[in-house]
Chains A and B, each alone.
Chain A
Amino acid sequence: MSVQITVNINGEDVTREEEPRKLLVHFIRETPGLTGTHWGCDTSNCGACVVLMDGKPVKSCTVLAAMAQGHQIRTVESLERDGRLDPVQQGFHELHALQCGFCTPGMMMTARALLDANPDPSEAEIRTAISGGICRCTGYKNIVAAIRWAAEHPATVEQEA
Chain B
Amino acid sequence: MAVTTENLPSGEQERPIGFGRLKRKEDARFIRGKGNYLDDIRLPGMLHAAILRSPYAHAKINSIDTSAALAHPNVAAVITAKDLETLGLAWMPTISYDTQAVLAGDKVRFQGQEVACVIATDEYSARDALALIEVDYDPLPAVVNARKALDPDAPLIRDDKQGQLDNLASPTWEAGDEEAADRVFAEADVVVEQDMIYPRCHPAPLETCGMIADFNPQTGQLDIYNGNQAPHAHRTVYAHVAGLAEHMIRIRCNDIGGGFGNKVPVYPGYVCAIAGSIVAGRPVKWIEDRSENLMSTGFARDYVMHGAICAKDGRITGLKVDVIADHGAFDSTAQPTKFPAGFFHICCGSYALEAAHVKVKAVYTNKAPGGVAYRCSFRITEAVYLVERMVGALAMEMGVDPIELRMRSFIAPEQFPYETTTGWTFDSGDYANTMRVAMEIAGYDELRREQAEKRARGELMGIGVAFFTEGVGAGPRKHMDILGLSMNDGADLRIHPSGKAVVSLSCQTQGQGHETTFAQIVAEELGIPPEDVEVRHGDTDKSPYGLGTYGSRSTPVSGGAVAIVSRKVRDKARLIAATMLETRPEDLAWEKGRWYVKGDPEQGVLIEQIAARAYSGEPLPEGYEGGLDAQVIYDPPNLTYPYGAYIAVVDIDPETAAVKVRRFIAVDDCGVRINPMIVDGQIHGGIAEGIGIALMEVITFDEEGNCLNGSFMDYLIPTALECPDFELGATVTPCPHHPLGAKGVGESPNVGTPPAIVAAVIDALHETHGVTHIDMPCTPARVWAAMQGRPEPPQ
**Residues of chain A at the chain B interface (Cβ within 8 Å):** 19, 21-22, 29, 34-43, 45-46, 48, 75-77, 79-80, 85, 89, 92-96, 98-105, 108, 123, 126-128, 130-145, 149, 161
Contact = CB atoms under 8 A, between A and B. Distances in A.
Contacts of A103: 206
Nearest to A91: B10
A108 B35 CA distance: 14
B721 A48 contact: no
A98 B713 contact: no
Nearest to B7: A95
Interface string B55-87: 000000000000000000000000000000000
Contacts of B513: 99
Interface of B: 7, 10, 23-24, 26-35, 37, 39-40, 124, 204-208, 255-258, 260, 289-291, 510-513, 677-678, 680-682, 684-689, 711-713, 717, 719-721, 723, 725-726
Given A139-B723, A141-B726, A161-B28, A99 B685 contact: yes
A85 B28 CA distance: 10
Nearest to B32: A80
Nearest to A75: B33
7 contacts: A36-B35, A37-B33, A96-B23, A96-B681, A102-B206, A134-B719, A135-B688
| A42, A99, A127: most-surrounded residue (chain B CB, <10 A) | A99
Contacts of A145: 7
Contact of A43 (B37, B256, B290, B682): B290
A77 B513 CA distance: 22
A139 B124 contact: no
Given A93-B23, A145-B7, A161-B28, A45 B713 contact: yes
B419 to A, nearest CB: 35
The secondary-structure label for the interface of chain B is loop
B257 A100 contact: yes
A131 B719 contact: yes
Contacts of A104: 30-31
Nearest to A22: B124
A66 to B, nearest CB: 14
Contact of B511 (A29, A40, A100): A100
| B7, B687, B721: most-surrounded residue (chain A CB, <10 A) | B7
A136 B26 contact: no
A99 B290 contact: no
Contact of B258 (A37, A123, A137): A137
Given A43-B712, A101-B255, A141-B723, A134 B31 contact: no
B253 to A, nearest CB: 12
Nearest to B724: A141
Contacts of B680: 96
A149 B10 contact: yes
Contacts of B678: 96
A144 B258 CA distance: 20
Contacts of A139: 684-688, 723, 726
A35 B255 CA distance: 13
Given A36-B35, A100-B257, A45 B712 contact: yes
B404 to A, nearest CB: 30
A34 B32 CA distance: 10
B511 A142 contact: no
Contact of B34 (A36, A43, A96, A136): A36
| B24, B258, B510, B682: most-surrounded residue (chain A CB, <10 A) | B258
B402 to A, nearest CB: 25
Nearest to B688: A139
A89 B720 CA distance: 19
B319 to A, nearest CB: 31
A136 B204 contact: yes
B412 to A, nearest CB: 33
A67 B321 CA distance: 58
Given A38-B206, A93-B27, A99-B682, 20 more contacts: A29-B39, A29-B40, A35-B33, A40-B208, A43-B290, A43-B712, A77-B33, A79-B32, A93-B31, A94-B10, A94-B23, A96-B24, A96-B681, A101-B30, A103-B206, A134-B717, A138-B681, A138-B688, A140-B723, A149-B10
A127 B7 CA distance: 19
Nearest to B10: A94
A19 B640 CA distance: 55
